Chains A and B, each alone.
Chain A
């Protein structure tokens, strides 16, 4: 059972790390701000989500697991708001206000 949990953790965290790598590549290589934001939000949402999911079986207590999920939710909230704000600022600048 614990071997299975470890395998789950390994796969999920590796998947999350891969998404972060892809997101970083996108951030460095994509041509314009909106597509860079797109790449970044994938790393933030899905990548961190996979890592949290993978770490859940390793947590000793329910409170610890809840804290991990809270971290993910808070990161989601701030990342979503930040991308919206950046995109909005870009939009305003483009329409020349």
Chain B
């Protein structure tokens, strides 16, 4: 789960990482009141969970009270990569002489968190890695020991960062590690970390991602419900324990297993169309769950045919067939449904489905995808 900039900064401040004076605003009036408290110039920053906020016009400098409501209104009425802006961070504009990047992220291959420091912050770290790799230094952190100060000094020294800043860097890096470790983060990032004219360090932007698998023990974050970028249908699916992600195509699909669900989507594309969704019913799905899954797929008005691909392992094909049979009367007659069953109890499952000639059966995954695409074209034509 990704946190907003303001949430990350709140956590930074609690750990003693210096941040500019700031406050949240939900309206132009609130922005004006907040700015009066903070003092001009201020920066208005759209709080959306998307990169490229600056380029999209979501971050703007305001020099005086005369411009603030107009500018706040402009950002609050905009969308950034399709996400409407609902909140602004009003922040004291800060002068700086240099920008660094400081972050901790899990390295999958090493199976260790790594500390990343760059002497050229302010732009995406991937870009720095490509254009000027000499400006980035990394070090693995032993998760049993935690981040040690010498690691931070080593990186700073290799990058030629002035030694007068090392102590402050150590403090900030160690605070970041504490957040990373204690809050089950998979990423914490300050970009840019700036050097002010007074020679101090300050975090001007912050990112944090919390491990979804650890949310059960990080309950504070569960309350931040606006975080979850889900459509209403996706939320409903989650209630049934279904993993559903809405996509842009016309072929609805229902599959058991995430890898096989992706493979089924790819088959649909290979057969000449696009999937309307990703839907993994998980292992051992019952008839009820299958019925719920089908009704969720049918809520998407784009869907012009449905492909159900079940490879029974823990999941039993006859149970899936029973689930489909239980909702057969709710399925519109003009919505073609292609079912492909394989694996555990496949014969029993097929026998149940034979009683419902409106369900089209296929023996292989690829042929099922081809039939679903053909049927969809006839519906759309």
Q: Note whether A and B form a binding pair.
A: no
